Amino acid sequence: MDFVQALRNSGTQYAFYLHRQGHPPYFEANNERFSAASLIKVPILLAWLVLERQGEVSRGEWCNLDEEPQVQGAGFAWAMTTRRLTYHDVLLMMITTSDNLCTNLIIRRIGIERLNQIFQNDLGLTNTVIQRKLMDFEARARGLDNWINPTDCIRLFDLIRHLKPDEREWVDRILSLNQDDRLLKRNFNPDAVTFCHKTGSIPGVLHDWGYTPKADVFLLMQGIQDERAVLDLFGWAGELALGAPTG
């Protein structure tokens, strides 16, 4: 059975995109709206850069880690004895360890309404919406969530490609330091391939979105019943995008 057939038989809602250099893009999806989980942190990162260009924020500003409830889950900023970091380091931890406290501090600094305006008006992400902070289970129980769709995920590649050189260098660097290698990169030695990417996961939802100099790829999946089988699909998709594992 080939990968696409296995994806179609997975019993999940999914979207798969692969564009390898020198080849036409391939796109396969059976759903248009996905709970973004931690993948929402990529649009948030780009929204910060929009505001930084306008002089409204700076990575050099100091951030007090105690300004938000000390949510846990991904990341460890809540456990640190150092309680003041620059926003540069808060953004770094938001991406590299998917730190939820750091993400909520960025959301606090910008504001949910302002973020949604930037997503729509400045970034052209017409189906990306943030409705709640991370680990806000009460809001989620009320039906509020953070959303993204495959078309916006494709647009994210173009947005990053068109960043100013210094911005692009910074974004590439922190996305390449993402510590979660259990999805598209799962069949590779962590040091064998440089993959600029961001994952997202909540119960029943797994996403991985990223790029190398030779390929853009993402796999979004929700409604997952058998996570072990789905992890095999992520490994397979990663091999299609990144090449066969070596050694």
In a domain, 223, yes or no: yes
In a domain, 116, yes or no: yes
Query: What are the tens digits of pLDDT across the range 1-52?
Result: 599 999 999 999 999 999 999 999 999 999 999 999 999 999 999 999 999 9
In a domain, 83, yes or no: yes
In a domain, 247, yes or no: no
- Given a cut of 80, whether residue 177 has pLDDT beyond it is yes
- Given a cut of 90, whether residue 59 has pLDDT beyond it is yes
- Given a cut of 70, whether residue 165 has pLDDT beyond it is yes
Mean pLDDT of the chain: 95
In a domain, 234, yes or no: yes
In a domain, 79, yes or no: yes
Q: Which residues of the chain form beta strands (DSSP E)?
A: 13-20, 26-29, 34-35, 62-64, 84-86, 147-148, 196-202, 205-212, 215-222
pLDDT band, residue 243 (cuts 50/70/90): confident
In a domain, 144, yes or no: yes
pLDDT at 17: 98
CATH classification at residue 175: 3.40.710.10
Separation between Cα atoms, residue 148 and residue 152, nearest integer Å: 7
Q: Structural domain tally of the chain?
A: 1
Given a contact cutoff of 8 angstroms between Cβ atoms, the answer to whether 101 and 73 are in contact is no
- Which domain range does residue 142 map to? 3-242
Separation between Cα atoms, residue 90 and residue 163, nearest integer Å: 21
Query: What are the tens digits of pLDDT across the range 195-233?
Result: 999 999 999 999 999 999 999 999 999 999 999 999 999
How many other C-beta atoms lie within 10 A of the C-beta of residue 243? 15
pLDDT at 16: 98
- Given a cut of 80, whether residue 62 has pLDDT beyond it is yes
Cross-strand partners of 145: none
Report the sign of the C-alpha dihedral through residues 36, 173, 29, 154, in that order: positive
pLDDT at 246: 57
pLDDT at 193: 86
In a domain, 7, yes or no: yes
Query: What are the tens digits of pLDDT across the range 75-110?
Result: 899 999 999 999 999 999 999 999 999 999 999 999
Q: For 139-166, what is the mean pLDDT?
A: 94
Given a contact cutoff of 8 angstroms between Cβ atoms, the answer to whether 12 and 205 are in contact is no
